Chain A
Amino acid sequence: MPDRFVYVTYIRTTPEKLWDALLKPEFTKQYWFGSWQESDWKKSASWKLYGPEGLNCSGEVVEIEKQRRLVTKWLNESKPELKAEGYSLCTFEIEQAGAALRLTVTHECAAPKSKVLERVGMGWPMVLSNLKSLLETGAAFDIPLSQTPCHQEEEKARANAQGNAQEAAHV
């Protein structure tokens, strides 16, 4: 069984608007820390995720059913230790839930104790909260990359490593 991260959110919007918000760069840039995807959005088409710092992930569209379901295969391109885990699989599923929509994001990775899943597990709640705010209020939060959970974790790790190195130097 691969490890998986699952997140469900309910949004007051239409399938058309949610689909556009998930796929179109002018929307994703607003709520996804400035990121955008590039693809022809057809089965087996190549897929790329870019962020303000450049190419983040590359992969392929595995399955696509407009306004219902999108499955993409992700390979991290920005950090060697994440790339070494191989592909992860990300599924967006949209269902009507009364007068709202239920969006389920499932991100799976076969690597044991996956660092990719640890990172997306921190990132998706913020991205999807922001997507919901954009669709329901017309405005997303302006979240600088430095304020994202992954960057804050990295900063902490860097500070700890520096502290340890300084301690070691004093011994």
Chain B
Amino acid sequence: MSDRFFYVTYNRTTPEKAWDALMKPEFNKLYWFGAFMQSDWKKGAPWKIVLNDGRIADTGEIVEIEKPKKIVIKWRNEFMPEIKAEGWSQCTIELEPSGDMVKLTVLHEIDKTGSKLIQAVSGGWPKILSGLKTLLETGKPLPDMAVSKK
């Protein structure tokens, strides 16, 4: 049994533009809370997420990459000890043309149940992918999205 987060968005863009927005730090920073991914984007290459204050949030490796369709990343958290202790998760991002849209699918999974990592990314991915869609369709990032509890 394993925990998983699965999310789909449809975006008015091209697979190439969505691919660039996913891989290039200057785009990442606009919708990923100022963070960005760093890698040579080749199979077997190291991969990491760098936070806007310079801390390393996650590290891992490119398991599979097929431009502009699919990327599979081996992913471990680095800055929250409890989540780091869960070890490796795997994240698959796929882009697929669908009519005038690009279907973007994210599957993030880990080989355990009750995973705090999956719980954390389940909160993060919808914000990141909503921001990505807004950026691709309007050219502007979404504003800060901290939920105010009333």
Contacts and interface: CB of A to CB of B under 8 A. Distances in A.
A141 B134 contact: no
B145 A129 contact: no
Contacts of A95: 147-148
B98 A9 contact: no
Main secondary structure of the interface of A (DSSP, over half): mixed
Given A95-B147, A99-B143, A147 B133 contact: no
Contacts of B101: 129, 141
Interface string A94-116: 01111110100000000000000
Given A9-B126, A141-B100, A97 B148 contact: yes
B131 A10 contact: yes
Contacts of B150: 96
A12 B143 contact: yes
Contacts of A23: none
A133 B9 CA distance: 11
A37 interface: no
Interface residues of B, number: 26
A96 B143 CA distance: 12
Contact of B145 (A10, A130, A141): A10
Main secondary structure of the interface of B (DSSP, over half): mixed
B147 A11 contact: no
B56 interface: no
A1 to B, nearest CB: 15
A72 B38 CA distance: 44
Interface of B: 7-12, 98-101, 126-127, 130-131, 133-134, 137-138, 142-148, 150
Interface of A: 7-12, 95-100, 102, 125-126, 129-130, 132-133, 136-137, 141-143, 147
20 contacts: A9-B130, A10-B127, A10-B130, A10-B131, A10-B145, A12-B143, A96-B148, A97-B146, A98-B143, A98-B144, A98-B145, A99-B144, A100-B143, A125-B7, A125-B8, A129-B8, A129-B101, A129-B133, A132-B133, A147-B99
Given A10-B127, A98-B144, A132-B130, 6 more contacts: A10-B126, A10-B131, A98-B148, A125-B7, A129-B10, A133-B137
A-B CB proximity, top 6 nearest: A99-B143, A10-B130, A125-B8, A98-B144, A129-B10, A8-B126
